[in-house]
Amino acid sequence: MADQTFNWAGLPTELKERIAQCCAYQPLEQGDYRQRLSRWFDRRRPRDTRREFGIYEIIDKLTDWASLLGVSHQVRAITLRLCFVYYGGLSLMASSCRSLASSLDRLGRYYQMMDDNGLPMDDRTKALADNYRNHPRIYPQLEQYATFRHGLRSIYLSMDFIAYMHFFKVSVGSFKQYLLPGSISYEIFEELPNLNQITFRLPRKPQQGWRDMPEQPGPPLFFPDFPCPRILHRLIYDCIAAVLTLYPLVEVNGFIDADEKDRYESLRAAAIQDREWSPDELAELYTECGGGVKLEEPVQPGSWLVEDGEEEQNESISRQAPESMAGQAHDEKPEDDFFPPKCRCAEQCSQVFYEKEKKRRIYRVTGGGYY
């Protein structure tokens, strides 16, 4: 019996998942991963909380059992499925558009490699992997080329007023003149096929107070002595209610009062009721049409590219237009009848924010957590 090996391959899949779960999430004793991570942070500069480039969202879950990912394709697939689903699943937190784009780009550089053919090896498979990367809902049959960003289950965002307005492409007043083409927006969620929960923390009072920054990428937001963050919050959560109807769990926190929360919930309920397609209907549509529609006439690859010099010049001018607008936004502020909104609420918003922040700090000091 001493020379016999354990028949791991003969175990049922459910038992293999249970063994991997006990190893990763219920170890008999804690290893030294946390100590090594703490020592690594101690060598960093103060207030430098950046992590090494990699998929530390997964490594932090597995700790000393991260080597399970290199045992075999089957064990790797079982372990990753546990990381994607259990204990909140694979989640991401971001405090700005830049940090969100950076994290998604980092996770998108690593393939899950759950199958033998999960890594592109030539130009053909690289093109297939790129198709799934950009359009995973249209090409679900290419799931073997999924990256770790495709495994995200939840995202938590806590941005400032300007960042949220850029993220949701707010077009009220003169803000549309500050939008830059190609910047990250809520449309990035379409590239995350397993995303089912999105949490937004509405902006708090800025650290500099209710004052605009000199070079902020947007119009002035705070009216002197009478700022109205209630209206600014509405610009944000109105977009959340309107454009994220396909996601089952969309949570918004940080409302000024209960009336604002009720208003958001009624807006979201109305938007879900009025939507043209449900998630199941869209999935069925993609399945039936294979990710596209049949064209009446054949189209040669590349025929949609601009060939005429005059059209190409016009396109170049149109691409430069937003840059000139952005430059004009800093030097010559466009006239705006909306920004900055003046507070005309029954109780001044800045005072409501002050009272709420005071309660939140007391709640934290007394050990109750966040308010």
Report pLDDT for 43. Answer: 53
Report pLDDT for 266. Answer: 95
CB-based contact 132:118 (threshold 8 Å): no
CA-nearest of 81, 95, 98, 93 to 25 is: 81
Element at 198 (helix H, strand E): strand 197-201
Average the pLDDT over each of 271-280, 302-311, 352-361 and give the range with the smallest value.
Answer: 302-311
Q: Is 78 helix (H, G, I), strand (E, B) or coil?
A: helix
Report pLDDT for 337. Answer: 77
Alpha-carbon distance 237 to 207, whole Å? 22
Average the pLDDT over each of 31-35, 45-49, 110-114, 321-325 and give the range with the smallest value.
Answer: 321-325
Q: For the chain, what is the mean pLDDT?
A: 77
| pLDDT (mean) for 56-75 | 77
Report pLDDT for 306. Answer: 41
Alpha-carbon distance 121 to 294, whole Å? 30
DSSP secondary structure letter of residue 342: B
CB-based contact 141:128 (threshold 8 Å): no
Position 305 confidence tier, pLDDT thresholds 50, 70, 90: very low
Residues in the chain: 371
Alpha-carbon distance 128 to 1, whole Å? 48
**pLDDT beyond 90 at 233:** yes
Alpha-carbon distance 133 to 136, whole Å? 6
DSSP secondary structure letter of residue 178: G
Higher pLDDT, 83 or 38: 83
Domain ranges (residues) in the chain: 10-88, 90-110+147-286+330-340
Alpha-carbon distance 360 to 371, whole Å? 4
Alpha-carbon distance 209 to 202, whole Å? 16
Strand partners, 249: 197
CA-nearest of 193, 196, 198 to 133 is: 193
Rounded alpha-carbon distances, angstroms, from residue 114 to 62, 120, 240, 344: 17, 13, 34, 57
**pLDDT beyond 50 at 322:** no
Alpha-carbon distance 360 to 352, whole Å? 12
Residues 6+ apart with CB under 8 A from 49: 41
> Where is mean pLDDT largest: 70-74, 129-133, 348-352?
129-133
Strand partners, 92: 155
What pLDDT, in 10s, does the model give residues 336-348?
A: 678 899 988 888 8
Rounded alpha-carbon distances, angstroms, from residue 8 to 1, 5, 11, 15, 72: 16, 9, 6, 10, 11
- Residue 263 neighbours by CB distance under 10 Å: 16
Alpha-carbon distance 240 to 196, whole Å? 15
CA-nearest of 145, 151, 237, 153 to 200 is: 237
Q: What is the 3-state secondary structure (H, E, C) of 208-219?
A: CCCCCCCCCCCC
Position 297 confidence tier, pLDDT thresholds 50, 70, 90: low
**pLDDT beyond 60 at 106:** yes
Tell me the HSE value of 136 on the side-chain side, using a 13 A CA sphere. 20
Planar angle of CA 26, 28, 30, nearest 5 degrees:
85
Look up residue 359 and give its two tokens. Answer: 């309660």
**φ and ψ at 197, to 5 degrees?**
-140, 130
Q: Is 278 helix (H, G, I), strand (E, B) or coil?
A: coil
| pLDDT (mean) for 311-324 | 43
